[in-house]
């Protein structure tokens, strides 16, 4: 997926009429029972399912399932179509399909200097994308930018159901009281972002750390769909780790789960920016890889230059990527030891390390992983920056389908 500037969207106007988003929303999320949420979730995550299988998976009687699906169809979520015969016996079972077009969600990703926004349907398919620079990082200015972007999406795609935002940093609390405790890139501390987003957009809002958002997206709509236990590791400018255990995204007691990037790999190695010697970060982040090499012709150390040098087969650059690959392998093996995942999904803008040093990644895994390597499924997922904003939309979808 790629994110593109949508030229059909008019340029920002400073005084966009608030009435656009304050109007009634006929497609707002209806009140529904836990069982209805469970049925909808099964179909959102797994695709079309036969009635008989749905009833069996969720332990619902036939009359209960009929009642629930009728109401979900009335609300526009589901559609009946086709039949499927399973196991060659019994009567064919009617398939229930999702109507992804029935609801639309806004996903946001905030960096220190840019706002990325998408509209997605209920199946997390992005149908519109827009981005613009953040010039003023003050909370009020960013909220005003978001209000205008969401209002324009509403005009093009409305009514919208909910909004979800992802950002690097620590997020804590529940519901309307959820707070961005700190976000270094935005220089924010203790910002009650859910409440502010709801007030600005008129939509139910949810907020989470960006790696959590990406993990949520992989868990329901990506390589982890249907898995009850998985790890997502992202490599690039930073190293992220998201965990799913027993079908739930782990959010920790203080909003900081999955901190694995400073695991010591070689106590005689280089120093990381926190002063550890030979931790995974000291080898693996884009800036660590760049820092292990001489300066480029312009006198700078850049990741792009390191990548170019490695692709040309320069030994010093290949060594830097090999060390990074080994560190990544140690992280994969350690994360797998900790939760015994069905899959370790690898993504991020630094995936070239896997491409250039796959053998070293597996050397690191073999050194750390304590179980049969046959059981370890490492799934490398290509990454596009637009995935972060889509992750924001997935947060909104998951929040809507949670009892």
Q: Which residues bind Zn ion (CB under 5 A)?
A: 262, 272, 274, 276, 279, 281
Cβ nearer to Zn ion, comparing 136 with 273: 273
Question: Minimum CB separation from Zn ion for residue 271, in Å?
Answer: 8
- HSE, CB side, 13 Å, CA atoms: give it for residue 152: 21
Q: How far is 163 from 109, CA to CA, in rounded Å? A: 11
Question: Minimum CB separation from Zn ion for residue 269, in Å?
Answer: 10
Question: Minimum CB separation from Zn ion for residue 260, in Å?
Answer: 11
Cβ nearer to Zn ion, comparing 333 with 341: 333
Cβ nearer to Zn ion, comparing 100 with 238: 238
Cβ nearer to Zn ion, comparing 100 with 269: 269
Cβ neighbours, 10 Å, residue 190:
10
Q: What is the DSSP letter of 105?
A: E
Could you tell me what percentage of the chain is helix, strand and coil, using 3-state DSSP and rounding each to the nearest 5?
Answer: 40, 20, 40
Question: Minimum CB separation from Zn ion for residue 136, in Å?
Answer: 33
The candidate with the shortest Cα–Cα distance to 334, out of 242, 260, 249, is 260
Torsion, CA 388, CA 389, CA 391, CA 396, rounded to 10: 160
* Alpha carbon 307 to its chain's center: 26
Furthest C-alpha separation in the chain: 73
Cβ nearer to Zn ion, comparing 281 with 309: 281
3-state secondary structure at position 115: strand
Tokens coding 134: 């953040």
Cβ nearer to Zn ion, comparing 70 with 274: 274
Cβ nearer to Zn ion, comparing 123 with 270: 270
Beta pairing, strands 93-98 & 49-50: antiparallel
252 Rama sector, left if φ>0, alpha if ψ -120 to 50, beta otherwise: left
Question: Minimum CB separation from Zn ion for residue 96, in Å?
Answer: 49
Question: Minimum CB separation from Zn ion for residue 350, in Å?
Answer: 16
Beta bridge partners of 128: 119
Sheet bearing 240-245, strands edge to edge: 248-249, 240-245, 230-234, 343-347, 378-380
Question: Minimum CB separation from Zn ion for residue 264, in Å?
Answer: 8
């Amino acid at each position: 997926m790629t994110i593109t500037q949508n030229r059909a969207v008019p340029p920002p106007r400073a005084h966009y009429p608030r009435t656009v988003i304050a109007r009634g929303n006929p497609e707002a999320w209806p009140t529904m029972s836990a069982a209805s949420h469970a049925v909808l979730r099964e179909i959102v995550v797994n695709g079309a399912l036969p009635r008989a299988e749905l009833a069996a998976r969720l332990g619902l009687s036939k009359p209960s399932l009929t009642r629930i699906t009728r109401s979900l169809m009335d609300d526009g979520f589901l559609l009946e179509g086709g039949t499927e015969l399973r196991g060659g016996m019994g009567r064919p079972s009617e398939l229930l399909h999702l109507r992804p077009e029935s609801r639309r969600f806004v996903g946001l990703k905030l960096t220190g200097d840019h706002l990325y926004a998408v509209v997605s349907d209920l199946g997390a398919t992005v149908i519109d994308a827009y981005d613009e620079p953040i010039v003023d990082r003050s909370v009020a200015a960013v909220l005003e930018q978001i209000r205008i972007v969401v209002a324009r999406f509403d005009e093009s795609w409305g009514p919208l159901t909910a909004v979800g935002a992802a950002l690097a940093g620590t997020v804590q609390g529940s519901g309307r009281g959820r707070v961005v405790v700190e976000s270094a890139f935005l220089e924010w501390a203790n910002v009650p972002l859910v409440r502010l987003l709801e007030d600005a957009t008129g939509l139910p809002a949810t907020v989470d750390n960006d790696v959590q958002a990406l993990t949520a997206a992989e868990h329901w709509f990506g390589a982890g769909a249907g898995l009850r236990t998985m790890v997502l590791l992202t490599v690039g400018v930073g190293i992220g780790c998201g965990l799913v255990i027993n079908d739930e995204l782990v959010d920790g007691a203080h909003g900081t789960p999955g901190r694995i990037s400073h695991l010591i790999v070689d106590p005689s190695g280089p120093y990381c920016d926190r002063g550890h010697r030979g931790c995974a970060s000291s080898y693996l982040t884009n800036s660590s890889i760049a820092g292990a090499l001489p300066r480029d012709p312009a006198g700078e150390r850049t990741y792009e230059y390191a990548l170019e040098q490695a692709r040309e087969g320069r030994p010093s650059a290949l060594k830097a990527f090999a060390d990074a690959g080994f560190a990544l392998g140690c992280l994969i093996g350690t994360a797998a030891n900790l939760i015994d995942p069905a899959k370790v999904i690898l993504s991020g803008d630094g995936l070239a390390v896997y491409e250039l040093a796959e053998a070293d990644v597996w050397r690191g895994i073999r050194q750390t992983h304590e179980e049969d390597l046959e059981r370890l499924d490492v799934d490398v997922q290509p990454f596009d920056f637009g995935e972060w904003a889509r992750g924001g939309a997935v947060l909104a979808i998951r929040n809507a389908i949670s009892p």
